[in-house]
Every structure is written in structure tokens, then in C-alpha cells.
């Protein structure tokens, strides 16, 4: 464990929980990023708040990059096609699972949703098995 950051992780988790709670309280919406993005791209009359939410995510990332660009240093030995394939697989899994880690893992678990519990256990186990397979079969760090 090279990057143990309990304080930063706790603060980040609290901010994610606070933003998800505020969206639910003030908009009556679940902070599932894949659903928010899907509704923004194929608008159904409520695209404004969705674009504002997504813009806030991008603005927050840009602000963090301007303050601490070293946090964005990436060092991996994967090719661009592998990264693209991984992104596509995650996107397909998000559609099949009717949500992503933010919708199921953050919002669904906090609401004690049985469907979200099953989805979260499934994608966490799949992620762990994927890391194991990559390390054992492909001989690389993941």
C-alpha cells in the first residue's frame, strides 16, 4: 500500500456523501453519474441540472489540477487500445447493471437497496477477479 491517505480519503468520502445527499434532498434525484450523463445526452426535459452537475464534476477536476497537478500523474503500462477496451467494458457493464458505482455503491447502499447491494458486490468481486487475472495471466501490475 504505497498511497495510504486516510485523511484525504475521509474528506473525499464526506464530500461525495454530502453532494449525493444534497441532490436527493433538493432535486429528489439519485447521484448516479451514468444515469445523469444518459439523461443529459438524451434530454427528457430536465437536462439543465444534469449538465450543471456534470459541469461541476469537470470544474472540480480542473480546479484540483490547477492547484495540485501532481495528483494527476499516471504511470501505467497499458496500451491505448487496452484502455479504450476497458472503458467500453465498463460502459457496457454500467448499462447492463442499470447504474454505476456512484448510483449503486454510494446512493443505493445508503438507501439499503437490495438491488444495489447485489450490484455492488458483483462489480467489486468482478473488479478483484479482473485484477487477479491481469496479474496472473498477463504478468503485469494493474
**pLDDT (tens digit per residue) in 41-96:** 887 788 899 999 999 999 999 999 999 998 888 777 778 898 899 888 888 888 88
Domain spans, the chain: 75-142
**Residue for cell digits 492547484?**
67
82-131 confidence digits (pLDDT tens): 889 988 888 888 888 788 877 888 888 888 989 989 988 988 898 899 88
Residue with grid cell 500500500, as numbered in its chain: 1
Tens digit of each residue's pLDDT (9 = 90 or more) over 33-51? 888 888 898 877 888 999 9
Residue 116 burial (CB < 10 Å; 0-12/13-18/19+)? buried
Which residue from 2, 52, 23, 40 is spatially nearest to 111, judged by alpha carbons?
Answer: 23
Q: What is the pTM of this model?
A: 0.73
Amino acid at each position: 500500500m504505497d498511497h495510504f491517505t486516510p485523511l484525504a480519503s475521509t474528506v473525499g468520502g464526506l464530500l461525495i456523501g454530502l453532494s449525493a445527499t444534497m441532490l436527493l434532498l433538493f432535486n429528489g434525484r439519485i447521484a448516479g453519474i451514468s444515469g445523469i450523463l444518459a439523461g443529459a445526452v438524451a434530454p427528457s426535459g430536465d437536462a439543465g441540472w444534469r449538465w450543471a452537475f456534470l459541469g461541476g464534476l469537470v470544474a472540480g477536476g480542473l480546479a484540483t489540477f490547477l492547484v495540485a497537478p501532481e495528483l494527476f500523474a499516471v504511470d501505467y503500462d497499458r496500451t491505448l487500445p487496452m484502455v479504450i477496451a476497458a472503458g467500453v467494458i465498463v460502459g457496457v457493464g454500467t448499462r447492463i447493471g442499470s447504474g454505476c458505482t456512484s448510483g449503486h455503491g454510494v446512493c443505493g447502499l445508503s438507501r439499503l437497496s437490495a438491488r444495489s447491494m447485489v450490484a455492488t458486490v458483483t462489480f467489486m468481486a468482478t473488479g478483484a477477479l479482473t485484477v487477479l487475472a491481469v496479474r496472473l495471466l498477463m504478468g503485469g501490475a494493474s
